[in-house]
Chains A and B, each alone.
Chain A
Amino acid sequence: MRTLTTPLTLDKVSRLNSGDIVLITGTIYTARDAAHKKIVEALPPHQNFGCGGVPFDLKNQIIYYAGPTPARKGMPIGSCGPTTSSRMDDYTPTLLKNGLKGMIGKGKRSDEVTKAIKKFKAIYFVAVGGAAALLATKIKKAKVIAYPQLGTEAIYKLEVKDFPVIVAMDSKGKNIFNRKKKG
């Protein structure tokens, strides 16, 4: 079990290996399909600022692919587990090129994303899909910082403590998905 605080650095990322269990503490940002589309439209080469530009500095940050359920009174957030990462694959290389360092989601990634992760020395974590009520207990604060009109797909700034993830693809290009089958 390893611990990690945000923002990330090249040094912190290089020390993690595929298969490591990691507890993350600090700030992370949610973004799903619709928010990715908007962020990429605001970045070069499109640079369409009609939607207000990139809502946070991507440099060394982690994006969590998640769309939570509504929060009950007195709770920071509702259930908040990872969504399928591959739907974000078309956008990810652009985000990594612009400084994004980490992603949390579930499932496999495309070859393009795998290459981009290695090239930009980034990291891809998976959280346990469906463990949404458990993961919500690790989120201490949540605030919508962009695209409130998208509802659950808005960008939330989350403060997490000991948020449990597994390194699925490390900065050296190793991943947990292509291992040889066992018995």
Chain B
Amino acid sequence: MREVSANIFPSIVADLVKEANYRLPFGVKRLIVEFSKKESSPLGRYIFKQMLDNIEIAAKKGMPLCQDTGIQEIFVDIGRKVRIKGNLEKAINKGVSKGTKEGYLRASIVKSPLFERVNTKDNTPAVIHYKFISGDKVKITVMPKGFGSENAGDVKMLTPSQGLGGVKDFVLQVVKEKGPNACPPLFVGIGIGGSMSNVTLLAKQALIRPLNKSNSDKKIAKLEKELLQKINRLGIGPQGAGGKITALNVSIEDFPTHIGGLPVCVNLSCYLLRYKRAII
């Protein structure tokens, strides 16, 4: 059993929070560049140019890419041969607080969401998901998620008889109605199956799946491609100002479900799909 102290996490998480907010993953930036060349609308091209300039400026100056530095969604994959000594949750939140302050990030989290809505001033608490994996490493991914796009997601409990057509219709309807406000071009994360609670997590996990990988199930991989094509025929375009490029990628994650249901969730991300990973 490998022992890892929770004490090392605050500084690791702080760095991940800052980096994720300043610099896009290489694959994300490459995809924006690639798609920007396919846009033919003059306004769309002008918008793409500003997006790419912004990415350069943020990285060069160490400034947040977007003023909405997000809710910190954190995925912790813990190897079964690792024992973590100490309070990991506390250590992660300490890191979020440290990163927010050191990195001049916006404090956007309020407690008592329905009533007082008092700002916690350091973006804590983070939303943390734990999972066990094989091996003796800890994999930690920090994903700052802005609410312009988070608010644009939706979940629906379809019936089995609605099937493939129902899933396609729902995805296209969400993108059509809510996509223009979610800072397109979009990354579309889709969860299918499981229960109402985990289908939403599947959709978010789909967003941070490596961009060069399709779903391992060929039929689902085909559906990802088909939905991307269909979304890019909606004409929403960059920032909703019209154009060919509405989405940059569609990724689907699925899980077995109940005989009586077909849960579907769409989690949209703006073009600034931000995450940073460390392996300890």
Residue A46 lies at the interface, judged by CB distance under 8 Å to chain B: no
Residues of B within 8 A of A79 (CB): 58, 63-67
Residues of B within 8 A of A134 (CB): 50, 53-54, 57
Size category of the binding interface on chain A = 35 or more
Say yes or no: B180 contacts A107, CB within 8 Å.
yes
Residues of B in contact (CB 8 Å), total 43
Taking the nearest CB of chain A, how far is it from the CB of B22, in angstroms? 9
Residue B41 lies at the interface, judged by CB distance under 8 Å to chain A: yes
Q: At the interface with chain B, which of A52-60, A64-72, A111-119, A140-148?
A: A64-72
Say yes or no: A83 contacts B234, CB within 8 Å.
no
Interface residues of B in 142-157 (CB under 8 A from A): 148, 151
Given contacts A128-B51, A128-B54, contact A68 B67 (CB under 8 A): yes
Say yes or no: A177 contacts B64, CB within 8 Å.
no
Given contacts A128-B50, A131-B50, A176-B241, contact A84 B69 (CB under 8 A): no
Residues of B within 8 A of A129 (CB): 66, 148, 183, 239, 270
Say yes or no: A132 contacts B180, CB within 8 Å.
no
Give the contacting residue for B67; candidates A72, A84, A132; CB below 8 A.
A132
Instruction: Show 24 residue pairs from A and B whose CB-CB distance is below 8 angstroms, ordered by the A residue.
Output: A69-B63, A70-B105, A71-B104, A78-B104, A83-B67, A83-B68, A83-B148, A126-B241, A128-B50, A130-B66, A130-B270, A131-B54, A132-B54, A132-B65, A132-B67, A133-B58, A133-B63, A136-B63, A151-B107, A152-B106, A152-B108, A177-B180, A177-B240, A183-B244
A interface residues, Cβ below 8 angstroms from B: 19, 21, 66-72, 78-81, 83-84, 86, 106-108, 126, 128-137, 151-152, 164, 166, 168, 176-177, 179-183
